[in-house]
């Protein structure tokens, strides 16, 4: 690993020496020209292993100069806490000095970031291509003339969607409803499911609402406000807005004091890891959960209009199940004529070594809706069935209905992913990293328990009996890592994370475990 670090340091071009100078001293034009030049250099730089470096001008490794938080960070935190709640703060960040896979703070500390804003940074801090997109006239217009898209869409909105968001639509889903956040995306998908179900029950899109439905809806009463539900799973996380929060089951702190809908919760399989080594036991557990899911579909007093599920339960502890489980869910939704919503807010956009995590499942038919956000930098849900469009205007509506500026950014992200083949890079790096972690697990069996994520790109996690201590110590070693659930350490590196970054991470973890 040390040789990899030395090689990375030798491979960095001269521009690297200036990569972490305060960006605020440079004009935006100088910045994007500088980074564009660095991007061009990236095409020609390789490591001894033959791996082409995607960000050769990023730091060669972490640099920790002070405790974290250091004196400047503490001062900034104290000032911020007077006007903003800082109790959930992870670290104070200087984004102008962050670059590639590395996150910087005001004290000059530079950390390898394998948490990436809770899985939300796709192609690196201050990515040159994104900087160019951000300073384009098209972006400037979208920012200063933000349209109310439902009423006043800009003339090229279809082109922006077709060349960006829809160019990576999951197979079988050729339409999109755009939103702002992951919670927003799920809420919108739930609304679409309810309107679809009631339209079915009413007799089709051409059947108008009755006076009873219209009047009762204004009293929050049935039939206008129908007694329907969305079925979710134990340990699920789908957001913090009212509808999405009623499907969230990960931690009490998210739900306390908030009124909730009377919606069913099915058990998510409590599988043993690695999945393939416990295939028989896991199959029995998954079948138990499928049986209970079907019972709830048939018997819950507020019938489900849809099932919503994460391909990998992230906030709830990085819980995995086999493709058979998800194929079973798909068959149940078809059997009982309800919708199948796949929440890809965290797993989508390449993180699992496929552009969409549900591509690993081999479904007989596509999901009815796939929600997205985070790495896409925009949000919404994909769908293919025209019946999921409300039968009248203003039923699925808000002022913004998304944001063209963020859609333009996602288009640039997609182009960067395709140009550098970053989904395949993530699959390759993930396999390499998983093997390295498996070796560490053999060496430190008390530190790495239930290692999971094999074959899922860099979407890897393990359980640690001293998780919080590990996360804190990692910062002192120059690595920013996140947790999930009660004791999981979850890795969420960017799509530009490569094998030489994995070597740094493995080396730092080895140091942490020795301590």
Q: Which residues are catalytic?
A: 237, 343, 374, 399
Q: Which contacts of 467-472 are long-range, i.e. CB under 8 A and separated by 24 or more positions?
A: 470/512
| 376 Cβ neighbours under 8 A, 6+ residues apart | 122, 165, 348, 349, 410, 413
The residues with which 313 forms a beta bridge, in sequence order, are: 319
Cα distance between residue 476 and residue 244, in whole Å: 36
> How many other CB atoms are found less than 10 A from the CB of residue 132?
16
Question: Is residue 109 within 8 Å of residue 474, measured between CB atoms?
Answer: no
CA separation for the pair 59, 8 (Å, rounded): 9
Kindly report the CA angle at 334 between 331 and 339, in degrees rounded to 5?
110
User: For residues 119 and 351, is the Cβ–Cβ distance under 8 A?
Assistant: yes
Cβ-based neighbours of 423, under 8 Å, separated by 6 or more:
350, 353, 354, 355, 417, 495
Instruction: Please report, in angstroms and rounded to a whole number, the separation of the first and last CA atoms in the chain.
Output: 19
Reference 234, options 245, 246, 249; nearest CA is 249
Strands 369-372 and 339-343, how do they pair?
parallel
| Neighbour tally for 81: CB within 10 Å | 12
Phi, psi angles (nearest 5°) of residue 139: -70, -40
**DSSP assignment letter at 388:** G
Place of tokens 């702190």: 253
Sheet of 449-452, strands arranged across: 449-452, 460-463, 488-491, 482-484
DSSP 415-426: HHHHHTTHHHHH
Angle (CA) 234 480 371, round 5°? 40
Q: Please check whether residue 461 is in contact with residue 448, taking contact to mean a CB–CB distance below 8 angstroms.
A: no
3-class SS at 348? Answer: coil
**CB contact at 8 A, 380 and 185:** yes
Query: Strands, DSSP E only, in 86-244?
Result: 102-104, 110-113, 175-179, 229-233
Structure-block tokens of residue 259: 């009124």
CA distance 228 to 198: 9
């Amino acid at each position: 690993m040390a040789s990899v670090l030395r090689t990375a340091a030798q491979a960095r071009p001269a521009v690297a020496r200036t990569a972490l100078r305060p960006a605020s001293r440079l004009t935006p034009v100088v910045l994007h020209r500088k980074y564009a030049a660095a991007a061009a250099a990236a095409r020609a730089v390789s490591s001894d292993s033959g791996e082409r470096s995607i960000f050769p001008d990023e730091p060669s490794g972490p640099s920790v100069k002070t405790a974290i938080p250091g004196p400047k960070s503490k001062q900034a935190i104290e000032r911020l806490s007077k006007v903003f709640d800082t109790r959930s703060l992870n670290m104070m960040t200087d984004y102008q000095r962050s670059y590639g896979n590395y996150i910087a703070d005001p004290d000059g500390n530079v950390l390898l970031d394998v948490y990436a804003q809770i899985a939300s940074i796709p192609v690196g801090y201050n990515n040159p291509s994104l900087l160019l997109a951000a300073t384009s006239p098209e972006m400037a217009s979208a920012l200063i003339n933000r349209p109310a898209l439902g009423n006043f869409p800009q003339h090229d909105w279809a082109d922006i969607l077709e060349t960006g968001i829809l160019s990576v639509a999951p197979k079988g889903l050729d339409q999109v409803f755009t939103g702002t956040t992951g919670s927003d995306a799920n809420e919108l998908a739930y609304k679409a499911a309810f309107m679809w179900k009631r339209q079915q029950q009413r007799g089709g899109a051409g059947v108008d609402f009755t006076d009873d439905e219209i009047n009762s809806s204004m009293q929050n009463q049935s039939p206008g406000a129908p007694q329907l539900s969305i079925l979710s799973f134990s340990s699920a996380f789908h957001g913090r807005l009212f509808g999405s929060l009623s499907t969230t089951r990960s931690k009490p702190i998210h739900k306390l004091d908030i009124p909730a809908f009377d919606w069913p919760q099915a058990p998510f399989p409590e599988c043993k890891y690695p999945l393939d080594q416990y295939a028989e036991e896991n199959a029995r557990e998954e079948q138990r959960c499928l049986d209970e899911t079907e019972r709830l579909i048939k018997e819950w007093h507020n019938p489900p209009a849809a099932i919503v599920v994460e391909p990998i339960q992230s906030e709830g502890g990085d819980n995995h199940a086999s493709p058979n489980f998800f194929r079973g869910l798909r068959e149940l939704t078809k059997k009982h004529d309800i919708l199948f919503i796949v929440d890809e807010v965290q797993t989508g956009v390449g993180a699992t070594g496929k552009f969409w995590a549900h591509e690993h499942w081999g479904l007989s038919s596509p999901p009815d809706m796939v929600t997205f956000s985070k790495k896409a930098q925009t949000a919404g849900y994909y769908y293919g069935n025209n019946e999921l469009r409300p039968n009248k205007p203003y039923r699925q509506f808000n002022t913004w209905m998304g944001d063209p500026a963020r859609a333009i950014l996602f288009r640039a992200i997609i182009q960067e992913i395709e140009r550098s083949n970053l989904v395949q890079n993530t699959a390759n790096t993930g396999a390499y990293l998983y093997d390295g972690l498996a070796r560490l697990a053999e060496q430190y069996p008390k530190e790495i328990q239930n290692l999971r994520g094999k074959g899922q790109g860099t979407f890897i996690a393990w359980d640690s009996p001293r998780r919080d201590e590990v996360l804190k110590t990692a910062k002192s070693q120059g690595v920013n890592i996140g947790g999930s659930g009660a004791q999981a350490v979850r890795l969420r590196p960017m799509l530009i994370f490569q094998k030489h970054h994995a070597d740094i991470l493995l080396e730092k973890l080895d140091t942490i475990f020795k301590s």
